[in-house]
């Protein structure tokens, strides 16, 4: 019997850890007689899974008409599509909504829901109904229940738990995204009543201290439509926290109803918000954090980087690490919308994006990818008034191929050749970035909160992403991440911790940072130390522990030059000046005042840099490298030329990922812990190409590849022969053989420990059993 499990940080198919390689196919946008050809293109790309939205408005165009078997229209034959995909050997990720977005009318909700039940509409702070719903309104939930009852008659018997091939089901889509994008709070009476109940539960007997009013609902309505300075900021903060709970309650309801109709595969929530190269993405995590925390929930990202290069790859790493810090610990990283489109004919987009981005994400631990969207198509008017659905996907609407289609199959062959050994291997990191999720709780704003949000946006973009993450990535210090208020900070496991600090940092987080340092951790804080009471809490714990007697803070967004180590005229903003007795001072203003200092706390050390700066130039990078070196955070690799290099280590071997994001070829050698990798051999990479190279990889008992300067594209056996094919015709390798001898290529050296050095010229290693 086929099985699928999410456990131990992996996805398991039939008892083996697996890489889920999916492509999104919208069966409802492609003729039925072309479904098989499209799915065959997925198979030829090396994928093992197909994902599909299932549009509510398409399958229930009228309240009393439901079609999931094609009796009213062939493109409504959901059952037929799922059965075809199963027959062709694909696993399936079903995405039935109720919301699907996907450029459909009302984001996939049937128009009749709004016409028959106008009371379910989300009402913005301007008093106008929106074409989105108040999720938990009882009348909307009644409509969703009817949809689930219909669609799960098809989905339930086709789950892998019941002999089918559906392995996961996504319930709803990008919850809270539209509200954030449009800056909308909901004053629908149903939502306001829930908000008032939440405040009563949260503050209890202290509610009157926060909001002295006899009629809380009327007060909230007034503050949300006509915010007054005295309470506008606190109401908005409370609303953001309430909406996290609201979204959780909505997901709980959806999951309960899906289970009532037979769903027993894992549910998926997708995290929206990928903008500005990923810097906005954690806002989506913040909105959905209570949903992500549900026991058994699988979290998946939506990522659309548009391009990849030396200037933004660190942002993609940071998005993955922040997600990994907060998703279900039983799962591996999963992207359910992983950009596959955007390469319109004659559009000039990067063909290499799709390959390099996939390699990068796999190198940091992603083990499930749904390439979205893989096929162009056409819309029926019920779906959209726009007929063409075309965003430069690998396959055009007529079934012909765009140039980047070939890249998928090429990489899939490499991933298949390494198989479960690559899946089991885990990324090696040398340091950690800490962040506060509440610094991203900024999705909706009113005039009283806008200035604080603008400051936080600047600080987290510049410091968290473009100083810390970029500095570590460019200097080959691979990092993971922790959420400071939720994670245990253990100096033994995390000897160095980098964090942005801002004046909103709560007392509990400050205390955890102080305790981490006292344990012996090395803590690097960049930004502004809290200096006064915030949200009715004393917020001087860090300042007091560091022995700072006074703080002078420049106005926000004020540029100034300072000296950091021996680098003069470093441009910064948001400068803080500190007075106190410090163990060392490493950053000063032109007149000698302290902007960066070192202090000993307990068994540990804290480095504070009171400024915002990005790693934009070689001079900035030297500053960062000096800081990391002095802290004791060494680079994992030394290279003769720059490329993005990462290592994953597993029980059956390790894998070296090298990505060249440059427009020119590179040739480089790699050293780790002062020892040359790959036998000291140089690796040549063409422009904008990557390679996954094995290290001490046991291909099978008796055959271990200690290094190989070309990635493997195929491993096969033919009788007594073991054949290993390589991407490059010329390569150098070192192998150990026990029970095999090499017949091709030429052996150039046999060492004392019987390691065989091979010089290949035909792209094949042929071994014969002896």
At 382-404, the pLDDT tens digits run: 999 999 999 999 999 999 999 99
Q: Which residue has the tokens 């030829």?
A: 44
Answer for the pair 300, 201: CB distance below 8 angstroms, yes or no. Answer: no
**Interval 628-648: pLDDT, tens:** 999 999 999 999 999 999 999
Average pLDDT over residues 78-96: 98
The tens digit of pLDDT for each residue in 61-84 reads 999 899 999 999 999 999 999 999
679 Cβ contact list (under 8 Å, min separation 6): 706, 707, 732, 734, 757
Q: What is the pLDDT of residues 337-393, one digit of tens each?
A: 999 999 999 988 899 999 999 999 999 999 999 999 999 999 999 999 999 999 999
Left, alpha or beta for 207 (phi > 0: left; psi -120 to 50: alpha)?
alpha
CA atoms within 13 A on the CB side of 398: 2
Q: Could you give the CA distance from residue 733 to residue 744 in angstroms, rounded to a whole number?
A: 12
pLDDT tier at 430, thresholds 50, 70, 90: very high
Cβ neighbours for 128, distance < 8 A, ≥ 6 positions apart: none
pLDDT band (50, 70, 90) for residue 1 = confident
Q: How would residue 535 be classed by pLDDT, with cut points 50, 70 and 90? A: low
Judge whether residue 749 has pLDDT over 90.
no
Alpha-carbon torsion (385, 388, 389, 390), positive or negative? negative
Tell me the residue ranges of DSSP E strands in 320-401: 333-339, 366-372, 377-378, 388-389
Residue 686 pLDDT > 60: yes
Answer whether 245's CB lies under 8 Å from 291's CB. no
pLDDT at 601 over 60: yes
Cα 74 to Cα 65: distance, rounded to the nearest angstrom: 15
Averaged pLDDT for residues 556-578 = 97
Whether 508 contacts 534, CB under 8 Å = no
pLDDT at 537: 60
Contacts 24+ apart (CB under 8 A), 388-393: 389/26, 389/29, 389/103, 390/344, 391/341, 391/342, 391/344, 392/341, 392/342, 392/343, 392/344, 392/345, 392/347, 392/349, 393/340, 393/341, 393/343
DSSP 1: -
Q: What ranges in 156-231 are assigned the alpha helix state H? A: 177-181, 189-203, 207-210, 216-225
The pLDDT of residue 587 is above 80: yes
Separation in Å, CA 668 to CA 313, 658, 696: 20, 10, 20
Centre a 10 Å sphere on the Cβ of residue 8 and count the other Cβ atoms it contains. Answer: 11
DSSP SS3 for 675: strand
Task: Assess whether pLDDT exceeds 60 at residue 534.
Answer: no
Instruction: State residue 532's pLDDT score.
Output: 72
- Reported as a pLDDT band with limits 50, 70 and 90, residue 287 is very high
Mean pLDDT of the chain: 96
Q: Does position 195 have pLDDT exceeding 90, yes or no?
A: yes
Model confidence at 748, pLDDT cuts 50, 70, 90, reads: confident
User: Does the pLDDT value for residue 711 go beyond 60?
Assistant: yes
- Residues 328 and 266 sit within 8 Å (Cβ to Cβ): no
Q: Which pLDDT value is given to residue 538?
A: 61
Residue 755 is given by DSSP the state: E
Check residue 347 and give its pLDDT: 87
pLDDT for residue 72: 98
Q: Tell me the pLDDT tens digit for each residue of 126-149.
A: 999 999 999 999 999 999 999 999
pLDDT at 488 over 80: yes
46 has a pLDDT exceeding 80: yes
How deeply is 716 buried, as exposed, middle or buried, from its count of CB atoms within 10 A (0-12, 13-18, 19+)? exposed
| Nearest in space to 585 (alpha carbons), one of 622, 547, 553 | 547
Pairing of strands 91-97, 49-53: parallel
Residue 484: which of 533, 438, 542 has the closest Cα?
438
Q: What six digits make up the tokens of 86?
A: 């199963």
Tracing tokens 């015709």 back to the chain, one arrives at 729
- Expressed in percent and rounded to 5, the helix, strand and coil fractions of the chain are 35, 30, 35
Query: How far is it, in rounded angstroms, from Cα 599 to Cα 589?
Result: 19
What is the pLDDT, as a whole number, of residue 478? 98
Alpha-carbon gap, residue 644 to 657, rounded angstroms:
8
Confidence of residue 536 (pLDDT cuts 50, 70, 90): low
What is residue 750's predicted lDDT score, i.e. its pLDDT? 82
* pLDDT at 450 > cutoff 90: yes
208 burial (CB, 10 Å; 0-12 / 13-18 / 19+) is exposed
pLDDT interval class at 533 (50, 70, 90): low
List, as own/partner pairs, every contact residues 636-640 make where C-beta atoms lie below 8 angstroms and the sequence separation is at least 24, other chains included.
Answer: 636/428, 636/430, 636/476, 636/477, 636/478, 636/672, 637/476, 637/670, 637/671, 637/672, 638/476, 638/670, 638/671, 638/672, 639/476, 639/668, 639/669, 639/670, 639/671, 640/667, 640/668, 640/669, 640/682
Local structure of residue 159 (DSSP, 8 states): B
């Amino acid at each position: 019997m086929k099985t699928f499990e999410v456990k131990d940080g992996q996805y398991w198919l039939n008892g083996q850890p697996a890489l889920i390689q999916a492509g999104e196919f919208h069966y409802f946008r492609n003729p039925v007689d072309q479904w098989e050809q499209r799915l065959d293109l997925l198979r030829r790309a090396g994928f093992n899974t197909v994902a599909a939205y299932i549009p509510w408005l398409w399958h229930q165009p009228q309240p009393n008409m439901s079609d999931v078997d094609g009796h009213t229209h062939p493109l409504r034959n959901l059952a037929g599509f799922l059965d075809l995909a199963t027959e062709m050997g694909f696993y399936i990720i079903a995405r039935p909504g109720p919301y699907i977005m996907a450029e459909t009318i009302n984001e996939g909700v049937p128009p009749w829901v709004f016409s028959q039940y106008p009371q379910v509409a989300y009402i913005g702070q301007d008093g106008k109904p929106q074409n989105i719903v108040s999720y938990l309104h009882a009348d909307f939930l009644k409509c969703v229940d009817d949809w689930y009852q219909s669609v799960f008659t098809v989905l339930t018997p086709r789950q892998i738990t019941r002999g089918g091939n559906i392995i996961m089901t996504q319930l709803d889509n990008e919850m809270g995204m539209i509200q954030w994008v449009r800056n909308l709070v909901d004053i629908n009476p149903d939502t306001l009543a829930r908000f008032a109940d939440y405040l009563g539960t949260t503050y209890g007997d202290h509610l009157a201290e926060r909001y002295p009013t006899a009629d809380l609902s009327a007060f909230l309505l007034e503050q949300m439509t006509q915010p007054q300075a005295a309470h506008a900021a606190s109401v908005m903060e409370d609303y953001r926290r309430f909406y996290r709970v609201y979204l959780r309650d909505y997901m709980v309801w959806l999951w309960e109803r899906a289970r009532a109709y037979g769903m027993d595969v894992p549910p998926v929530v997708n995290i929206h918000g990928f903008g500005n190269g990923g810097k906005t993405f954690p806002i989506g995590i913040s909105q959905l954090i209570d949903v992500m925390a549900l026991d058994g929930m699988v979290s998946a990202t939506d990522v659309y980087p548009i391009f990849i290069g030396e200037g933004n790859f660190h942002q993609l790493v940071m998005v993955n690490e922040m997600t990994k810090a907060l998703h279900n610990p039983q799962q591996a990283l999963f992207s359910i919308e992983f950009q596959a489109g955007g390469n319109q004919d004659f559009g000039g987009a990067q063909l290499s994006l799709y390959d390099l981005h996939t390699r990068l994400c796999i190198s940091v631990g992603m083990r499930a990818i749904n390439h979205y969207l893989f096929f162009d198509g056409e819309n029926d008017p019920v779906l959209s008034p726009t007929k063409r659905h075309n965003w430069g996907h690998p396959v055009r609407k007529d079934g012909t191929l765009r140039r980047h289609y070939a890249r998928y199959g090429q990489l899939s062959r490499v991933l298949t050749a390494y198989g479960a050994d690559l899946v089991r291997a885990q990324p090696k990191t040398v340091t950690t970035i800490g962040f506060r999720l509440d610094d991203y709780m900024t999705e909706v704003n009113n005039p009283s909160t806008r200035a604080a949000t603008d400051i936080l946006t600047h600080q987290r973009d510049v410091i968290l992403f473009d100083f810390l993450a970029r500095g570590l990535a460019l200097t080959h210090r691979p990092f993971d991440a922790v959420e400071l208020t939720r994670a245990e900070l253990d100096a033994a496991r995390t000897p160095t911790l980098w964090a942005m600090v801002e004046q909103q940092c709560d007392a509990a987080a400050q205390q955890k940072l102080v305790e981490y340092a006292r344990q012996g951790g090395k803590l690097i804080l960049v930004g502004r130390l809290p200096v006064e009471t915030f949200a009715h809490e004393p917020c001087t714990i860090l300042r007091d522990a560091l022995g700072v007697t006074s703080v002078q803070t420049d106005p926000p967004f004020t540029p100034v030059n300072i000296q950091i180590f021996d680098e003069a005229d470093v441009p910064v903003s948001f400068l803080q000046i500190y007075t106190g007795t410090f163990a060392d001072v490493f950053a000063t203003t032109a007149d000698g005042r302290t902007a960066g200092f070192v202090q000993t706390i307990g068994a540990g050390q804290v480095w504070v840099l009171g400024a915002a700066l990005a790693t934009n130039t070689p001079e900035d990078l030297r500053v960062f490298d000096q800081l990391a070196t002095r802290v004791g955070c060494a680079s994992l690799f030394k290279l003769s030329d720059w490329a993005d290099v990462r290592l994953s280590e597993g029980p059956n071997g390790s894998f070296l990922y090298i990505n060249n994001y440059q427009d020119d070829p590179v040739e480089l050698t790699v050293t780790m812990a002062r020892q040359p990798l790959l036998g000291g051999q140089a690796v040549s990479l063409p422009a904008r190409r990557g390679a996954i190279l094995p290290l001490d990889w046991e291909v099978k008992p008796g055959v271990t590849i200690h290094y190989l300067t070309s990635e493997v594209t195929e491993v096969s056996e033919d009788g007594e022969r073991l054949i290993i094919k390589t991407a490059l015709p010329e390569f150098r390798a070192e192998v150990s053989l026990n029970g095999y001898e090499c017949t091709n290529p030429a052996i150039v050296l046999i060492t004392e420990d019987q390691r065989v050095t091979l010089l290949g010229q035909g792209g094949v290693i042929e071994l014969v059993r002896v």
